[in-house]
Amino acid sequence: MELLTPALGLFVWNLVAFLILFFILKKFAWKPILNSLKERETGISDALETADKVKAEMAHMKSENEALLAKAREERAAILRESKETADKMIAEARDKAKFEYDRIVADAQSAIEQQKNAALTDVKNSIGKMVIEVTEKVIRKELTDKADQEKYIVKLANDLAVTSN
């Protein structure tokens, strides 16, 4: 039981040592410990404020990024729209140019055909004229008294000319 109930002298000396230690700690250690706790508390609160500021700044940057992304999408859409309009315009111009060229070629071909037709008609007229002159010349050279003989001779000459011209 002695171990459970200490002697009065031991108790007093322990109390004196505790009080001395308490006053020494109060005089030298208590203020620095409290100051360091206060500094730590201030540092933690500053860190929390900084974290809140960073969080707000990140939210602001996120909204700016979203706005920039939306603007980039709009610009992309505008560029695509412009390129489509340019391509459509180029296609329409090429189509118009091809149609103009086609119309010009057709007109030139029709003109050439008309010229060839006129040249052929002129050749045919000249040939017929020459044939008429030749027949007339031969009829005049041969004097026939009989009208039937003249007609037979004209038919024969016409046949001869038709055979030679083929």
Tell me which residue of 90, 87, 163, 105 sits closest to 131, measured CA to CA: 163
Burial 112-125 (b: 16+ CB within 10 A, else e): eeeeeeeeeeeeee
pLDDT value for 18: 94
Q: How many domains does the chain have?
A: 2
Residue 136, domain member (yes or no): yes
Whether residue 51 sits in one domain with residue 91:
yes
Whether residue 79 sits in one domain with residue 16:
yes
Whether residue 153 sits in one domain with residue 88:
no
Residue 56 scores a pLDDT above 90: yes
Residue 81, domain member (yes or no): yes
Whether residue 131 sits in one domain with residue 66:
no
pLDDT value for 16: 96
pLDDT tens by residue, 62-98? 999 999 999 999 999 999 999 999 999 999 999 999 9
Query: Domain of 86?
Result: 7-105
Residue 1, domain member (yes or no): no
Residue 58 scores a pLDDT above 80: yes
Whether residue 166 sits in one domain with residue 97:
no
Whether residue 130 sits in one domain with residue 70:
no
Query: Mean pLDDT lowest for which of 31-35, 70-74, 150-154?
Result: 150-154
Whether residue 92 sits in one domain with residue 42:
yes
Residue 117, domain member (yes or no): no
Residue 143, domain member (yes or no): yes
Whether residue 24 sits in one domain with residue 93:
yes
Residue 100 scores a pLDDT above 60: yes
pLDDT value for 11: 84
Angle at 131 between CA 121 and CA 166, to 5 degrees: 75
Whether residue 128 sits in one domain with residue 91:
no
Whether residue 99 sits in one domain with residue 136:
no
pLDDT value for 62: 94
pLDDT value for 1: 53
More confidently predicted of 105 and 27: 105
Whether residue 74 sits in one domain with residue 142:
no
pLDDT tens by residue, 124-144? 888 888 888 887 777 776 666
Whether residue 166 sits in one domain with residue 101:
no
More confidently predicted of 113 and 144: 113
Residue 110, domain member (yes or no): no
Q: What is the average pLDDT across 150-161?
A: 79
